[in-house]
Structure 1
Amino acid sequence: MRPNRSRPRQPGKDSLRAHVVFAIGTFAYFSAVAQRTSFGVASVDAAERFGTAASALSMFSLMQVLVYAGLQVPVGVLVDRFGSRVMVAAGAGLMTVGQLQLALADSVAEGVVARVLVGAGDAATFVCVMRLIPAWFSALRVPPLTQFLGVVGNLGQLLSVIPFAWLLDLGGWTSSFTALAAVALLAAVLSTALLRNAPPGVDVLNRELSLRRTGQVLRESVAEPGTRLGFWVHFTAQFAGNTFVLMWGYPYLAYAQGLDDRAISVVMTSFVLTNLAVGLILGGLTARRPQHRVRLSLSVTAVIFTAWAVLLVWPGEAPSAVVLGAVCVIAVSMPASMIAFDIARSFNPPQRTGTATGIVNVGGFAATVLAIFLTGLVLDLLAAAGFREELYAPDSFRFAVAAQFLVAAAGTVGVLLTARRVRREHGSGAA
């Protein structure tokens, strides 16, 4: 089944109100990304605050991402039933509570609970905002706006990289995380007041989602090979950038490359700006050349891990320009992963878009869990074996990051196998 990109515009679509709804949804996602990535910026401070090793410290991000990934399908089902307004506002509320909990946490257990709440709230944001786009905009505008949501929402990383990092250094742990909670609270208020599920007179909710019907919709979504292809594309394309920004980017830049805080801020800011620039380009390519989406995603993945390979084989600390260039390449993984949602949308009817999007979104975050865990595990094993005295020794990072290549290889196999199935069922030009 190929998407129909020439349908006549429906009443209320592409209107001023549609843009207001999209702007509020984008801000909610911007806030969610800031909450999600804040711990990566604070990971060194967290190691001192909680006095824990690399693998235990990774539990903060691991639990957050596990909860996020585990809730994607339930959230997709719930948003099909109750709509984006309720879900996005509830998610922002959970993140508010989670960040306040983390601001006051004194133990690993308290901190992990806080990140679980943040992960749950984050889970209820992206999929639900994504559902607003086809409801409020015409078909040709959906792929570019999907990319725009991803890249502008990911500017929330800048809130973590610059003002949050500055506030963390100046005011300490409690005040900085409390400030982030205030941003999440603002998103909750705006979503409650201004978000609407669809244009007036248009009903996009699946009000017949009983438990039995929910299971049927889920089975239908999973049975569609286009959904599974989206899952594996997201799995393969997203995790490199996600792992970098959520957990290991700051420690790697500080300990393996010897950058100071100011230089790290410049590199991470460039990471975010690359998301913005490349995402807008990829959105246009996806809209005009849907038959090349799989090749595009695999090409991006190959380039990303080539950049990682350059950093890993470079003797000693790489020149700053090389580090900056490699990190900007790694950043492309974030907008490239958005291709997966356009793939899933092409092969699923509107009534199960939320469910299919949730399934796809599990992919990248499942891979992120594996990559975060493997990296921390390798660091701890090397330290326990006496490979180097320092936990975050540069040579230890070479082996730890290299373990992520296994995740990329597994994802690539998944993409190739499911793409073959899609072409067999929907035609050679479908993927």
Structure 2
Amino acid sequence: MHDIGRRRAYAIWGAGLAVYVLAVFHRTSLGVAGLLAADRFDINASQLATFTVLQLAVYAGMQVPVGVALDRFGSRILIISGLVCMTVGQLWFAVADSFAMGLGARALVGAGDAMVFTAVLRLVAVWFLVRQAPVITQVTGMIGQMGAVAAAVPLSAALHGMGWTRTYALAASLGVILLLGAFAVIKDSPYERGEVERIKLRALRHSLTEVWRDPGTRLGLSVHFTSQFAPTVFALLWGYPFLVSGQGLSPTTASTLLTMMTFVALVAGPTIGRWTGRNPYYRSVVALGVVGAIALVWAVVLALPGRAPLWLLVVLVAVTAVGGPGSMIAFDLARTFHRSDRLGRASGVVNMGGFVASLVTMALIGLVLDRLAPGGPSTYTLDDFRIAMSVQFLLWGFGAWMIWRYRRRSLDRVAQSPGAMDALRRGEALLPGISRDHEA
């Protein structure tokens, strides 16, 4: 019904992308406010971590239901619903004055956030050409991180200048503006409505089982699990306290380093997207390389007997930031191993990986800090953070093993379809007999 990959496609994608930028802002808005939140709600490290852990647990737990709803109802309804939930949740957080109220607000923010990203990815999948999709997907993740920039230095300044309630209420009001744009611009698909698969309840269990059993789904989930959690944990919760209380940086310098993560992703995202678009056979190998680099730099920083020099912290933050674009490889893998009518569910399953890893890591770090420094955030030392942040290596090791295991199984799956392996080696991401039907 409409041309794909043209001006209308970019307008629709832009409207969805704006909502995703706001979702990232809401998701990361506690990053520089962690120490203030600890004082406002009079809570310890484990309770502080619970805010973000609960938010991400809701996000991860909703990914499969959201994927099913996405395939059933389309992107527009999901984006609008998510925007409403985030706006209400952030406004609630602005006036919350107890730990329980704060938890409820962050859970609502997580629920709204869960509906946005995969819905935007589906718009990319149906509105752009196959050769455009990998780069547009990377650019989506890259530009979305601009929300994290706004949640670093500007939000920190606003919190100290306007106070807690006014700052978060102003953040909530942005959702009302974007809601108008979403209503006016976003259209689910350039194709007839009948092209969207209608999910019936009796077929749901079988459909989800098929998605999960595909080794490509598990490979994508493994890549997302292993690549995404380090930058997420650092930006959303523990990076700011680690830099300020552990490494002795000023709040301004720490906020600047968190902002730098986004600009590194701006450069790394398109680079990774172009390379993996031309060499899809090596996508999971690239992901392993990214994870290995992150783990190596963290090992160096944590092994130092004293505080790391500023230049090394810059390197640490920059390399860690590459994990965000690296995790986007997971969604391109899902696109390879699933037809478009199952892409929403597959993307939902894949998207659970990084957020499950993130919430586990955040909770473990909080538990270790509480054990080592029961006096609270004001008593944290570098040695406390050195031990607590080391829990990341457990998840990197487990995730790397999963990637290697399911890479082999996925290649075996490709080899079973005539012509698919040759197509993959030639640089094609959509394979005959797998992600599309056999051509006549």
* Category of TM-score, reference length = shorter chain: over 0.9
Please point out which of 82, 86, 102 is paired with 2:77: 86
Length-normalised TM-score, structure 2: 0.92
Instruction: Check whether the contact 2:31–2:152 (CA below 8 A) recurs between aligned residues.
Output: no
Task: Say if 1:40 and 1:250, in contact at 8 Å, map to a contact too.
Answer: yes
Q: Does the aligned pair in 2 maintain the 1:12–1:200 contact within 8 Å? A: no
1:359 alignment partner in structure 2: 349
Are 1:230 and 2:216 matched, yes or no? no
For the pair 1:20 / 2:11, whether they are aligned, the reply is yes
Give distance in 2, aligned partners of 1:389 and 1:243: 17
1:12 is paired with a residue whose SS is coil
Aligned partners of 1:236 and 1:112: how far apart in 2? 27
Q: Which moved further from structure 2: 149-158 or 191-200?
A: 191-200
1:264 has 2:254 as partner: yes
SS of the residue corresponding to residue 39 of structure 1 reads coil
CA offsets per residue over residues 190-240 of structure 1, 9 Å max, x none?
112211101264654222x11112222211111111011100110001000
Distance 1:168 1:389, change over 3 A: closer
Residues 201-350 of structure 1: pairs in structure 2 closer than 5 A: 201=192, 203-207=194-198, 209-350=199-340
- Distance in 2 (CA, whole Å) between partners of 1:263 and 1:327 is 12
Q: 1:190 aligns with which of 153, 162, 181?
A: 181
Percent identity at matched positions? 41
What corresponds to 1:176 in structure 2?
Answer: 167
Structure-2 separation of matches of 1:235 and 1:12: 35
In 2 relative to 1, CA 293–329 (structure 1 residues): closer, same or farther, beyond 3 Å?
same
Q: Tell me if structure 2 keeps the 8 A contact 1:34–1:159.
A: yes
Does the Cα contact within 8 Å between 2:49 and 2:363 map onto a contact in 1? yes
- Secondary structure of 2:373 counterpart: helix
Q: SS at the partner of 1:145?
A: helix
Specify whether residues 177 and 349 from structure 1 end up closer, same or farther in structure 2 by C-alpha distance, changes over 3 A only. same
Query: What is the number of residues matched between the two proteins?
Result: 419
Query: Using the alignment, how far apart are the partners of 1:396 and 1:112 within structure 2?
Result: 26
User: What is the distance in 1 between the residues matched to 2:169 and 2:194?
Assistant: 38
| Partner residue in 2 for 1:132 | 123
> CA offsets per residue over residues 230-261 of structure 1, 9 Å max, x none?
00110001000011111101111111111112
Shift of 1:165: 1.4
Q: Is the 8 A contact 1:371 1:403 kept in 2?
A: yes
User: Which segments of 5 or more consecutive residues in structure 1 lack a partner in the other structure?
Assistant: 1-9
Question: What is the 5 A alignment of 1:412-431?
Answer: 412-427=400-415
| C-alpha separation in 1, matches of 2:222 and 2:191 | 36
Runs (4+) off by over 6 Å:
none
Deviation at 1:189, TM superposition (A): 2.3
Closer, same or farther: CA 203–281 of 1 in aligned 2, 3 Å: farther
SS of residue paired to 1:140: coil
Aligned mate of 1:375, from 348, 360, 365: 365
Aligned with 1:411 (options 381, 389, 399): 399
Distance 1:118 1:214, change over 3 A: same
1:66-87 Cα offsets, whole Å, 9 max, x none, are 0000000100100100010000
Q: Displacement, 1:11? A: 4.9
Question: Contact 2:19–2:116 at 8 Å: present in 1 too?
Answer: yes
Deviation at 1:132, TM superposition (A): 0.4
CA distance in 2, matches of 1:219, 1:333: 29
Taking the aligned partners of 1:196 and 1:215, their CA distance within structure 2 comes to 29
Distance in 1 separating the partners of 2:74 and 2:207:
16
Q: Which one is further off, 368-377 or 390-399?
A: 390-399
Partners of 2:45 and 2:377 within 8 A in 1: no
Query: Any conservation in 1 of the 2:32–2:240 contact (CA below 8 Å)?
Result: yes
Amino acid at match of 1:24: A
Structure 2 residue runs of 5 or longer lacking an equivalent are 416-420, 426-440
Segment drifting more, 179-188 vs 130-139: 179-188
Q: TM-score, normalised by structure 1?
A: 0.94
Summarize deviations over 1:92-123 as a string: whole Å, max 9, x none: 10000000110000111000000000000000
1:407, distance to aligned residue in structure 2 (A): 0.9
1:103 aligns with 2:94: yes
Distance (Å, rounded) in 1 between the aligned partners of 2:257 and 2:350: 29
